[in-house]
Amino acid sequence: MAVIDLGKLGFVNKGTYNNSTTYEKNDLVQFTDGGLLSTYLYIDSTAQSGQAPSSSGTAGSRWVYFAKGGAAGTDVAAVLNNNEIAFKTNAGALDGLAIGTAGQALKVNSGANGYEFGSAGGIQQVIQGTSSTQFNQSSPTNSQSYYPSSNKLTATITPSSTSSKILVEYVTSVRMDSSNSDMGVGLSLKQSISGGSTTEIHAAGTGGSFKPYSSGFYFAGTVSSDARVRISDILLLSPSTVSAITYEVGVVGYNTDSVRINDDNTTGRIILMEVTV
């Protein structure tokens, strides 16, 4: 019976390329070329040895890529410590960023060239102070602020960053009386930084330029008994410190015989909020 050679009906994996081995059509070998380990397919109909696979040159007509290798990967577990986040540096290297503390968020750093954990912005803390004790100042000097010596309407906050802003909101009932016409009453705010400066803040100016009738309550007539109103104000301040800051509410009069805050022992409130961006 005649024997017919049908040749190879499929690919034959010959393992790692050996220069002394004779290879024929449809043989597969593994060979490192250009630093990459790839699988090559022998396509020449003439069996030969001593022709190493290559993507160029004479051997390129005998071998073609069957599976082209890629660059070796990085063992991320070997690079990173526990609880680190992986990122690529500007130099193209893999690096790890240690986890932050509770409540922090991942953000771009101030140099815009990397990452860090920190505040993501928003309200970081809220502090409230209250007082229900009436304070009365008789014969106040026009545009001068007066603050209780005890039972103060006050609150203290310690910012977490020098770039934080402090949102201050306060409200209380005020009272004034006078036999004169053209009178007014308003609130003032004192900011005292621990180990630093003390600043008086008004809604409509500071010092002698403050006009309580333009930022509080104004009455053009004569009130020999009393006039009462509840006044509030809100300020966004930039103290640029991480030291404790105390805010205290005071009262200012204009052409009045007396002024009061927390009138009739009503409750005054001050709320401090640290805002980060």
SS3 category, 178: strand
Which structure tokens are listed for 27? Answer: 């043989």
Confidence of residue 81 (pLDDT cuts 50, 70, 90): confident
Per-residue pLDDT, 184: 86
Per-residue pLDDT at 94: 78
Give pLDDT, residue 170: 96
123-276 has which CATH code? Answer: 2.60.120.1340
Judged against a pLDDT cut of 80, whether residue 222 lies above it is answered with no
Give me the DSSP letters along 187-256: EEEEEEETTS-EEEE-TT-SGGG--HHHHSEEESS-EEEEEEEEEEEEEEE----SS-EEEEEEEEEES-
Say how far apart CA 152 and CA 147 lie, in whole Å: 8
23, exposed or middle or buried, with CB in 10 Å at 0-12, 13-18, 19+?
Answer: buried
pLDDT of residue 57: 43
Give whichever of 74-83, 108-117, 252-261 has the largest mean pLDDT: 252-261
What contacts 92, CB < 8 A, 6 or more positions away?
Answer: none
CA quadruple 177, 181, 186, 188: dihedral, nearest 10: -100
Helix (H) or strand (E) holding 263: none
Residue 164 DSSP symbol = -
User: Distance (Å, rounded) from C-alpha 134 to C-alpha 111?
Assistant: 51
Q: How confident is the model at residue 207 (pLDDT cuts 50, 70, 90)?
A: very low
**pLDDT given for residue 232 in this prediction:** 92
Give the mean pLDDT of 76-84. Answer: 77
Residues sharing a CB contact under 8 Å with residue 155, sequence separation 6 or more, in sequence order: 127, 128, 129, 246, 247, 270, 271, 272
HEC per residue, 58-106: HHHHCEEEEECCCCCCCCHHHHCCCCEEEEECCCCCEEEEECCCCCCEE
Looking at residue 58, what is its pLDDT? 47
Mean pLDDT on 51-67? 73
Query: What local confidence, expressed as pLDDT, does residue 105 receive?
Result: 83
231 versus 205: the higher-pLDDT residue is 231
pLDDT band at 59 (very low <50, low <70, confident <90, very high): low
**pLDDT for 168:** 97
pLDDT of res. 96: 80
The rounded distance, in Å, linking the Cα atoms of 152 and 132 is 9
What are 143-202's pLDDT values in tens digits? 888 999 999 999 999 998 899 999 999 999 999 888 777 888 889 999 999 999 999 887
User: Could you write out the DSSP letters of every residue in 90-148?
Assistant: TTS-EEEEE---TT-EEEE-TTSSSEEEE--SEEEEEEEEEE---EEEESPPTT-EE--
> What pLDDT score does 5 carry?
56
Residue 115 pLDDT class (50, 70, 90 cuts)? confident
Lowest mean pLDDT, pick from 27-41, 103-117, 153-167: 103-117
pTM over 0.75: no
> Does the pLDDT at position 205 exceed 60?
no
Q: Where are the domains of the chain?
A: 12-67, 76-118, 123-276
Q: Which helix (H) or strand (E) holds 180?
A: none
